[in-house]
Structure 1
């Protein structure tokens, strides 16, 4: 007998499998290949009904009636499209290798999931499959007419379409490898995910329950990166058991089997059953996609900036662009509360997800750039300008000014130790004066000595 718990487990696993398949580079190529196979089978069926013979008088230029000509055309199409497939997949691998070497390995999942390139590769594969199916049926004894002429003509049309999209593919792949395009894509995905989080954010303060309740720890049944939680299912589970659940680590962090990863407040009658069902709603996998967790977008942009500042790459322009994107994302993140709590449909508190706090996020983003770019006055000025923009936005969120001031002190201290040129130090002091004159920081920043 199929129990509700078993069905929930199956549904949870199906969601995870679908997510993996959708993020795979073979998702659209597989779907489009199956579509073309279906078209080929359908065309062969129509050929058995004499569609080519019926159209031969009306469309003589479109119907191929010579067997050797049809074989030559189909053979040429199969060879040419196969060459396109090999070249295209080689280009994709080269792009991924170059992105990993020059930017950050974290950006590779985002490049793989590019749907436009997947569709083009799917068109190539589908055309090859269609052509092979038609080739097998040329001069088949099952036809009333000599050749599947219309099916051969459609293979020619698909080939012309492949050539047109091959030009688009070359343009797309050459654009995708540019760091500006990669950063913009990550920025847009992260911004979209942040806006989704803002829509779901209840904006409520953390209740006293989390300080006063008696908590029961729950051990993890897996070791791995806890990436996703089905919030609606977990809230419903907590409502059924009448408990409040809190995850002890933010999503994306590594949890170890046998160690606490969550805790519950309330009378939990069957701990094992609760944990077993909870684990079906938690997904563990390795990919770091910004559309799943906005923190990965911050991380990828930061790592791209750090890689650009390395002596081997030496591309401060990319680092500046990354800082500009981080400025906008940090401003949007400022409006998101650090306490991610969720209530059920009866407005009863049921779930709290541990969240990377705003001060910690600031340090994770600005710390590496500050360390690797502290000798470059342009980077220092850009970081101080970022903090100035955050201060202006923080007028509506005064609790954010303290962490901003702390990061500013770190940047100024590193600049004081690393920037030697007096002209550069004077420019940095002008930016420090602008920050101090805004009267927004809780304490004034020290100026560099001249």
Structure 2
């Protein structure tokens, strides 16, 4: 039963992030409005309002039929055009930026609501059309229902202008990066608020651990921490996931381990599996690591010869700077205790050193021949050094990344003027006396 509930939660999550979620809900709403209006028309609502609102009630059958036919044709064309435009935008975003930004664009609620309004208006119009000649009306035809169809059409035209503006803004890389940055920032702050900030207990080094095999192959995306902590409390064990969330696990191979006197392993595993979700979407509001990955890949794509947009790469580096500084506040050991303050769970976390390497490494490799990118990366490391004064254990990976960056610059940067600018920034970084080691200066050969 618990596994069914877990799978149901997964299906609900998939439906909620689908591009068809809001269009379906809004279409059903409009269908209900249409049925309700037809019911009121059978009670003579148009006939009762004919004298009071003569300009709103349509009384000519051919006119009503022409209006509804025109509305249905126009809205259908509008739907086709809008969906085609969405697909073109998604295709362009995938080609120019990164395929991983697509789920974020699809899950945009504003565009889904506009498309839902189009579909709902079309469904409403069709329902009214098939009842236009019903003999059960007291009035000659459902004039008020036709007038409402006209109002919905005017509303669609107004929202079509908004849709054009929205979809044009959504495809701009600056807006995409800012959206990913804000989602990642919010997720990071949420993780920091939940972080216990405690040192790693000795049990993870000296405990007697039993490995648990995965029952499914896929990306381990989400775990119900509260339910798993309560499960561990019930069986009086400590559980550790051996791979970070978002990594691919193989069915039949170890993905977690447990310490303690686990009496009923099968029952424990069954309950554990029911609180684990596997799916493919990589949304920044689900896991902050996805935000780092998407910003990094957008920067790398911008540095490729096919795009050649260093300005976007610089903006991505600036966003990464702030995110790295915020990430310093989050401990690398994610451990959780139960309500009795007993250790129950550890989630494997990508540590700060690996996160720096995974993000800055590709940008350094693809942008090492561009002195502007090299200088921006050095500025990033300088800002991280200042921020790490209150967190000295972050200085070692920062120093390592700086040395690797300067090693590449020594080989690829040939212009003496560019090398001098790099040395000036390196000197400023060394003068802070924050890093545990002094960074080497580039050799500069002045021309005669």
TM-score interval for Structure 1 and Structure 2 normalised by the shorter chain:
over 0.9
Counterpart of 1:251 in structure 2 is: 245
Counterpart of 2:60 in structure 1 is: 66
1:445 corresponds to 2:436:
no
Mapped partners of 1:388, 1:102: distance in 2: 30
Q: CA deviation at 1:347?
A: 1.1
Mapped partners of 2:65, 2:31: distance in 1: 19
Q: CA deviation at 1:14?
A: 2.0
Mapped partners of 1:82, 1:17: distance in 2: 30
SS of equivalent to 2:401: helix
1:148 corresponds to 2:147:
no
SS of equivalent to 2:211: strand
Counterpart of 2:175 in structure 1 is: 181
Q: CA deviation at 1:214?
A: 0.2
* CA deviation vs aligned residue, 1:223-258 (integer Å, no higher than 9, x gap): 111001011111111111111000000000000111
Counterpart of 1:134 in structure 2 is: 128
Q: CA deviation at 1:10?
A: 2.9
Residue 314 (structure 2) aligned to one of 310, 316, 320: 320
1:206 corresponds to 2:200:
yes
SS of equivalent to 1:352: strand
1:421 corresponds to 2:438:
no
* CA deviation vs aligned residue, 1:144-192 (integer Å, no higher than 9, x gap): 1111110000000000000000000001111111111110110011001
Mapped partners of 2:8, 2:399: distance in 1: 46
1:365 corresponds to 2:359:
yes
Counterpart of 1:281 in structure 2 is: 275
Counterpart of 1:125 in structure 2 is: 119
Q: CA deviation at 1:12?
A: 1.6
1:193 corresponds to 2:196:
no
Mapped partners of 1:50, 1:384: distance in 2: 76
Structure 1 runs (4+) greater than 6 angstroms displaced: none
SS of equivalent to 1:124: helix
* CA deviation vs aligned residue, 1:252-286 (integer Å, no higher than 9, x gap): 00001111000000011111111111111111111
SS of equivalent to 2:284: coil
Mapped partners of 1:285, 1:19: distance in 2: 10
Mapped partners of 1:267, 1:115: distance in 2: 48
Aligned length: 444
Mapped partners of 1:68, 1:56: distance in 2: 18
SS of equivalent to 1:269: coil
Counterpart of 1:32 in structure 2 is: 26
Counterpart of 1:109 in structure 2 is: 103
Counterpart of 2:388 in structure 1 is: 394
User: Which residues of structure 1 form unaligned runs of 5+?
Assistant: 1-5
1:305 corresponds to 2:299:
yes
User: Which residues of structure 2 form unaligned runs of 5+?
Assistant: none
Q: CA deviation at 1:9?
A: 2.3
Counterpart of 1:348 in structure 2 is: 342
Residue 380 (structure 1) aligned to one of 343, 365, 374: 374
TM-score, normalised by the number of residues in structure 1: 0.98
Counterpart of 1:222 in structure 2 is: 216
SS of equivalent to 1:140: coil
Residue 328 (structure 2) aligned to one of 334, 344, 361: 334
Mapped partners of 2:45, 2:197: distance in 1: 65
Counterpart of 2:76 in structure 1 is: 82
Mapped partners of 2:326, 2:5: distance in 1: 34
Q: CA deviation at 1:142?
A: 1.5
Mapped partners of 2:268, 2:297: distance in 1: 39
Counterpart of 1:165 in structure 2 is: 159
Q: CA deviation at 1:39?
A: 0.5
Mapped partners of 1:78, 1:226: distance in 2: 45
Mapped partners of 2:369, 2:163: distance in 1: 40
Mapped partners of 1:396, 1:53: distance in 2: 77
SS of equivalent to 1:427: helix
Mapped partners of 1:334, 1:234: distance in 2: 27
Q: CA deviation at 1:143?
A: 1.1
Mapped partners of 1:31, 1:342: distance in 2: 38
SS of equivalent to 1:439: coil
Counterpart of 1:50 in structure 2 is: 44
Mapped partners of 1:235, 1:149: distance in 2: 61
